[in-house]
A and B are shown apart, each in its own frame.
Chain A
Amino acid sequence: MRQARYRDQELADSIELAADLLRTVAARWRFRIQAGRLGSHPVDETMQVVQSFEQAIEVLTGETAGPATRRASGLDTNEERFRQLVDSVTDYAIFMLTPEGMIASWNAGAEGIKGYRAEEIIGKHFSIFYPEEDLAAGKPARELEIAAREGRYVEEGWRVRKTGEKFWAHVTITALRNSSGRLTGYSKVTRDVTELRNANEALRQSEERLRLMVEAVRDYAIFLLDPDGRVATWNIGAERLKGYKAEEIIGKHFSVFYPEEARRREHPADELRRAKAEGRYEEEGWRVRKDGSQFWANVVITALFDQEGRHVGFTKVTRDFTEAKHLREAQLALQLRDEFLATAGHELRTPLSALLMQVQSLARSAKVVDPRLKDRLEKAAAAGARLEKLISQILDVSRLNAGRLALDRERMHLDAVVREVMDRFADLATESRCPILLRLEPVEGVWDRVRLEQVITNLVGNAIKYGKGKPVEVETLLDGSDAVLRVVDHGIGIAPEDHKRIFDRFERARGTREYGGFGLGLWISRSIVEAIGGGITVRSTPGEGSTFTVTLPLRAKEADAAKQS
C-alpha cells in the first residue's frame, strides 16, 4: 500500500511538472501568435499545437484532481499520454536529470536541437552540453545548485551541439522533489534561440550605429526631448551649435535655448503643442547659445509616438542659418539696389531728355543770333549727352543684374550692323585722328540688333579712346559655325594681370582720372554677348595695343533672359 501511495505521489509530481511545462510552452506560443512573432511557423498549425497542449493540460490536471481510485486505474494511460506528448515536442528539448545531473530521459526536440539520439545520451552527464570555458568555471554544477536551492534556474547562454557547433539557448532547470521534499532530479527545458538572438543583435547593432551616427553629426543639433520638453539626448552638433556639453544640458528644459522674449510669451511650449497636434513644427528664429550669443536657427520639431500611439517625446533638429539669413538679406539689398537703380535711371532720364532737347534746340536757334552762345549751348548738350549715356549704362546694369535683358531676335548681317555703327563714329574718328580700317566679310545670323550695336559701339569707342590716334581695325568673319567680330587697336594696351579684371563691373585698366566713365562698358558688352550665347576675349601687349574678339553663335540662344550673378 505504501508502495502504491509512494508511486502515486511520484506520478502526481510528474504530472504536475508536465502540466507546468506544457502551460509554459503553450503560453509562450500563444504569446508569439498574438504578438505576430512566429517567424516561419504557420499560424494555423501552431495554434493547433497550442490547443492540443492546452487539451493535454486539461486531461492531465483533470485526472489528477479526480478521486484516488480513478487516478490509480488511469495511471498507465496518463503516464503514457504524457510521455508521448513530451516526446512529440520538437521545438523544445525536454528531458530529465537525476539529482547528480545524469540524463534520464530524451525527447524529439532534444534530439533535434542537440543532435544526440536517446540511446547515446541517456546516462551521460548533462555538462556535455556546455562550452569548455563554462565547464572550467564549474557552471553546470552551479546551475543545479541554484535550481535545487531556489526551485528554478533560468538563463540564456551558449550551449554545444553534438557537432561541436554552439547555439544560443534559453534554458529552464526545475528541481523536482517528492512529497517529503527530497530532491528526485531536475527537468530541463532548452530552446534554441540563436536566430532570435541574431535578430535582436542585428537590431541592437543597427540602433547603436544610428545612435553613433546621430552623435557624430556635426552640422546639425539633433536631440530628443521628453514629453515635457526636457533634453533627453545630445549630439556633437548640438554641443557645437549651442555650446553645452551633454552632461550640463540633459534633463534641462529646452526653453533655455530661447531668447528671454520668446520664453516670456511661452513660445517653446507653444511649439511643442503644435508639434504634438500636427506631428511636426518648423520655424526659423533666434536662439541663444550657452555663452548668451544668438544665432538664427532653422528648427524642426517632430512628435514621437510609440507603437501603441502614446506620445513619448520629440525629436528636435536645429541648424545654424545665420549665414544663410545674412546672405538672403544681402541678396535682398542687392535686389533693392537694382530696383532703385532701374527706377532712378528711368526717372532721371525723362527730365534729362527734355533738358537736352531744349539745349539742342536753343543751340540751333542761337546759330543765327550769337555764334558764341551756340558754342556754349553745344557744350552743354554734349555734357547732357554724356550724362544720358551714363544713365543708360546704369539701366543696363540693373537689367542685367535682374536677368531682365530681353533679346529681340531678328535676322541681320553682322557686317552691315558694323557699317551702320561706324557711320556714327565717323565724326569721333576724324576728331581723334584715328583712321578706322574695315575688313568685313559678310556674316548672317539671328541676334539682337540694338544690343549688338551696343557691343560694337563700346569696343570701337574703347579702341579710339585708348588707341593713341593709331589706326583701329574692325573685322567680321565666319569661323566654322561662329560669327566673329574683332576690334584691334595699336594703343596703350592692357597689362596681362588686368585681362580678366577689365570684364568685371566698375573695373578699368587705367585710372578714372585719365579716362572717364563708370568702367561698365566691357562688363555690359560681356553680359550681352553671353546672353546671346557667345563669348568675348582680349589679347593685348602693353604699349602695342589690344585685340578684342567676340564670338557669336549664328543664332542667339533662346534662353528667356541673361542670368547674371
Chain B
Amino acid sequence: MPPSNPEGPILVVDDDPDVREAIVDTLQDEGYHVVQTPGGREALVYLRSNPPPSLIFLDWNMAPMNASQFMDEFCKEPSFQGVPVVLITADLHASQKATTSRYDGFITKPINLDTLFSVVERFTKKR
C-alpha cells in the first residue's frame, strides 16, 4: 500500500457546480485545502500534473464520464495508488455499491455535514 498524502488537498469532482461549490465552501470554511474539477477527465488531468490529493470526493452520476468510468482510468495509473476515493451519491443503496467495489467510502445526498467531516477527518489533515 503506497503512502497516502494526508497533507495534500481534497479534490472534489462533481459536474453540478452548485453541489461542488457547496462542498468546497463548506470544507474551506472548516479550514481544509480544497481543489475542484467539473468532471472525471479534468480530474485525471489534474492528478497527472499535481502532487497527490489527500482524498477525492467523486460524484457517482456524471456525464460524459461517470464515476465507474473514471475509476477504470484511475486504477490504471500506478502513481494514483493509495489515494482514497469517496463516492457521493443520491442512491439510498450506495453502501452496496461502495463496498463491492473500489471505493474507500461513500456519502449520500443530501450530504449530512457531520458525515462529511467525519469522512474527511479520516484521510486529511487541516492546514
Contacts and interface: CB of A to CB of B under 8 A. Distances in A.
The answer to whether A and B come from one shared complex is yes
Interface string A337-360: 000000000100111111111101
A353 B113 contact: no
A365 interface: yes
Nearest to A364: B113
B12 to A, nearest CB: 12
Nearest to A381: B113
A561 to B, nearest CB: 14
Contacts of A512: none
A394 to B, nearest CB: 14
Contacts of A358: 22, 25-26
Contacts of B19: 350-351, 353-354, 357
A356 B19 CA distance: 10
A349 B90 contact: yes
Given A350-B19, A361-B26, A356 B110 contact: yes
Interface string B73-100: 0000000000000000010110010000
Interface string A381-415: 00001001000000000000000001010100000
Contacts of A364: 29, 113
Contacts of A355: 18, 22
A357 B110 contact: yes
B22 A408 contact: no
Interface residues of A, number: 21
B21 interface: yes
Interface string B98-117: 00000000000111010000
B10 interface: no
The binding surface of chain A is classed by DSSP as: helix
Nearest to B117: A364
A362 B110 CA distance: 16
Contact of B29 (A346, A351, A361, A450): A361
Contact of A357 (B26, B90, B93, B96): B26
Nearest to B17: A354
B16 A361 contact: no
A389 to B, nearest CB: 10
A337 to B, nearest CB: 21
Nearest to A350: B16
B23 interface: yes
Interface centre among B90, B110, B111 (most CB of A within 10 A): B110
A354 B22 contact: yes
Given A361-B26, A364-B29, A388-B110, A354 B93 contact: no
Nearest to B21: A354
Nearest to A408: B93
Nearest to A448: B93
B25 A450 contact: no
Contacts of B92: 450
A353 B109 contact: yes
Contacts of A388: 110
A357 B22 contact: yes
Interface in B7-42: 16, 18-19, 21-23, 25-26, 29
A525 to B, nearest CB: 15
Contacts of A385: 110
Contacts of B23: 357
A71 to B, nearest CB: 113
A536 to B, nearest CB: 20
B22 A349 contact: no
Contacts of A361: 22, 25-26, 29, 113
Nearest to B26: A361
Contacts of A346: 90
A406 B97 CA distance: 14
A410 B23 CA distance: 32
Nearest to A362: B29
A350 B25 CA distance: 16
A358 B26 CA distance: 7
Contacts of A408: 93, 96
A352 B18 CA distance: 9
A364 B114 CA distance: 11
Given A364-B29, A450-B93, A357 B113 contact: yes
5 contacts: A351-B18, A356-B110, A357-B26, A360-B26, A450-B92
Nearest 7 Cβ contacts at the A-B interface: A354-B18, A361-B26, A357-B22, A353-B110, A354-B22, A450-B92, A354-B19
Given A351-B16, A353-B109, A385-B110, 18 more contacts: A349-B90, A350-B18, A351-B18, A351-B19, A353-B110, A353-B111, A354-B16, A354-B18, A354-B21, A357-B26, A358-B25, A358-B26, A360-B26, A360-B113, A361-B25, A388-B110, A408-B93, A450-B93
